[in-house]
Amino acid sequence: MHLLLLATLLVPGLRAHEEQEPDLSEMSGKWFTIALASNNSALVAPGGHFRVFLDTLDVKDGNVHGNILVPEDGRCKTLSLVAFKTDKNEQYQFSLQFWGHNEMDIVEVEPGEALAFILNNKYQDKTSLVAALAVRTLPAKKDSLDTFEHLCEDLGLHKEQIVLLDHTDHCQKSQD
């Protein structure tokens, strides 16, 4: 509960001083997940429920529709998700059902090129913080990775809780 409160208080403040709110109309298209972080490292470790790879995004009626690639039995399974815009707090907060309930904020790390997704995941009475960095093109710019690292630190995540992904991940390779 304390983690959820901390993240709820921190994310709007982070946007105000460093990152920019994304222009939803520019989010549609192909994306590559390059980094994951969580206070529950099992969620982003190989085989973890959030070790997933963003493939595409599309914005319809203010809601974010996405396809993610999920490693399963040595193959990639495509899963379609919809994050519904909420009336709570910020204009860019969404509600997403994936391995429990998630309140999701989207932060533009680099205009048009890099997005961070911050999720407060509630599953079986446990709350976890999960962050992901997605970019339009590979390789990612060092500035995007540095900004994501600072964002994670501001959320209370430590550098050792950040996992950098590369093309050895089966699902990531299938996106090329």
Residue-wise pLDDT tens digits, 42-81: 999 998 999 999 999 998 888 889 898 988 888 888 988 8
At 28 the pLDDT is 92
At 82 the pLDDT is 86
* 24 φ, ψ (degrees, to nearest 5): -55, -30
At 93 the pLDDT is 67
CA distance 108 to 115: 5
At 161 the pLDDT is 97
**Domain 2-171 CATH assignment equals 2.60.40.10:** no
At 73 the pLDDT is 83
- pTM for this one? 0.82
For helices 2-17 and 142-154, give the axis angle rounded to 10 degrees: 140
Instruction: Flag residues of the chain having pLDDT under 50.
Output: 1-19, 91
